Amino acid sequence: MMDRYSRQTLFAPIGVEGQRQISDKHVLLIGAGALGTGNAEALVRAGVGKLTIIDRDYVEWSNLQRQQLYSEEDAKQKLPKAIAAKNRLQEINVEVELVALVADVTAESLEQRIKAEKVDLMLDATDNFDIRMIMNDVAQKYEIPWVYGACVGSYGLTFTILPGVTPCLHCLLKKVPLGGATCDTVGIIAPAVGMVVSHQVAEALKILSGNMEDCRTKLVSFDLWKNQYVALEVQKLKDLNCPSCGIQRTYPNISFKNQTKTAVLCGRDSVQIRPSSDGERNLTELKTILENQGLPVENNPYLLSFEIKDHRIVAFKDGRVLVHGTKNINEAKSLYYRYFG
């Protein structure tokens, strides 16, 4: 155990003191897909003090090609990603405090979490732009650094946002192409993920070990298939009138209650429905009700699922329901009300 971090402490910019600082820090990781699992594994191996992982999804077979913490068994069991990741990570390093949350990130929930406990760094590993904008406002309001990361196909993009120092994501929005295609429409190759993860983790180690001055100030974008790598100087894009980081801030992405109850998920032919009232769902009771209707229900402690005709329906303990096999919100809602209304 003593030698565990020896190669990292031998690295002069980190050293023994940097390692001590890393072991004292709390990182909030949003998303446990390809970028999330890569970031999580590297930070846990590096000996971060505490890692909180938030993810709303469960492991599927199509994830295994690039989401490095998951196994076939996780996919068979449809384990929530946050839980499967935590299980694997704890095997890798028992010293790290791990918290797994199977939940959606909303403006309210993220702000509550940040208020409730000290968070030293946020890592973006979501594929959802709305959630990134929420992270961006929360980061500015509570002065928490965060590292933006995105990838699709063989292309990747990453930027480190230091409140009060660099432009924020909102400043860059209209001036820099931040991507639009989603993961499932054009596919993705694992090395593109690894490249973004490497940039994010290197920045995380600088921030966590107290080497903020070494942080990258440029926005990096690359395409591993087309052999392109660009580091774009964006400091002059910091906008004094920015609603998220400017002089008169309104934090537009967290200042009103997010009313959205349904969302079509990232090119996945799926709709998520989030009930208006918060509260846990009793999965045992629900299973009995559904089985009494003759439905073949599969379940684990975190979710239950069943198939009807062309749809697979998954109900989570936190109340959310995923309807697979449609992008039509009305169709998904009618199924939701039929079985859960």
Active site residues: 183
Closest CA to 207 of 162, 167, 245, 164: 162
Is position 170 an interface residue for Zn ion (rule: CB under 5 A)? yes
The residue at minimum Cβ distance from Zn ion is 242
Chosen residue from 43, 82, 150, 171 binding Zn ion by CB under 5 A: 171
Size of the site for Zn ion (CB under 5 A): 6
The span of 149-157, 191-199, 244-252, 324-332 binding Zn ion (CB under 5 A) equals: 244-252
Q: Please tell me the distance from the alpha carbon of residue 227 to that of residue 141, in angstroms, as a whole number.
A: 38
> Which DSSP state fits 22?
H
The span of 44-52, 68-76, 110-118, 243-251 binding Zn ion (CB under 5 A) equals: 243-251
Q: Please tell me the distance from the alpha carbon of residue 25 to that of residue 203, in angstroms, as a whole number.
A: 14
Minimal distance, residue 239 CB to Zn ion, in Å: 6
CA angle 183, 34, 327 (to 5 degrees): 35
Is position 105 an interface residue for Zn ion (rule: CB under 5 A)? no
Strands 298-300 and 121-124: unpaired
Q: Is 115 helix (H, G, I), strand (E, B) or coil?
A: helix
Minimal distance, residue 146 CB to Zn ion, in Å: 13
Chosen residue from 244, 253, 272, 305 binding Zn ion by CB under 5 A: 244
The span of 74-82, 100-108, 167-175, 327-335 binding Zn ion (CB under 5 A) equals: 167-175
- Residue 166 makes CB contacts below 8 A (sequence gap 6+) with 159, 160, 217, 234, 235, 238
Is position 237 an interface residue for Zn ion (rule: CB under 5 A)? no
> DSSP per residue over 211-249, as a string?
-GGGS--EEEEEETTTTEEEEEE-GGG--TT-TTTSSS-
Is position 242 an interface residue for Zn ion (rule: CB under 5 A)? yes
- What residues between 205 and 234 interact with Zn ion by CB under 5 A? none
- The residues of the shown chain that bind Zn ion, judged by CB under 5 A, are 168, 170-171, 242, 244-245
